[in-house]
């Protein structure tokens, strides 16, 4: 999960930097188009992250209810 979070944060931050630092300051049509496409990509990345989080939550909840399966292990440092 840590690599997923790292890639999400990196993608969103890089997209924001590109939009505000590279594309919009140009002021031409190409810059505006690239800013819009980057914003769409960032939105899709957020949708994917939300969908994954919801799926993981359902899987973890279902695993705790299935007879014969071990419950989810506690996180490091939790007893």
Q: Which distant-in-sequence residues (6+ apart) come within 8 Å of 42 by Cβ?
A: 11, 12, 15, 16
The pLDDT assigned to 62 comes to 79
Mean pLDDT, the chain cut into blocks of 10 residues (79 residues total): 92 97 96 97 96 89 68 62
Distance CA 57, CA 52 (A): 9
The pLDDT assigned to 60 comes to 82
């Amino acid at each position: 999960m840590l690599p997923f979070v790292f890639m999400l944060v990196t993608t969103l931050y890089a997209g924001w930097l590109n939009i505000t630092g590279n594309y919009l300051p140009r002021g031409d049509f190409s810059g505006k188009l690239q800013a819009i496409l980057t914003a769409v990509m960032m939105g899709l990345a957020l949708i994917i992250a939300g969908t994954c989080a919801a799926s993981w939550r359902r899987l973890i909840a279902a695993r705790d209810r299935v007879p014969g399966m071990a419950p989810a292990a506690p996180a490091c440092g939790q007893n």
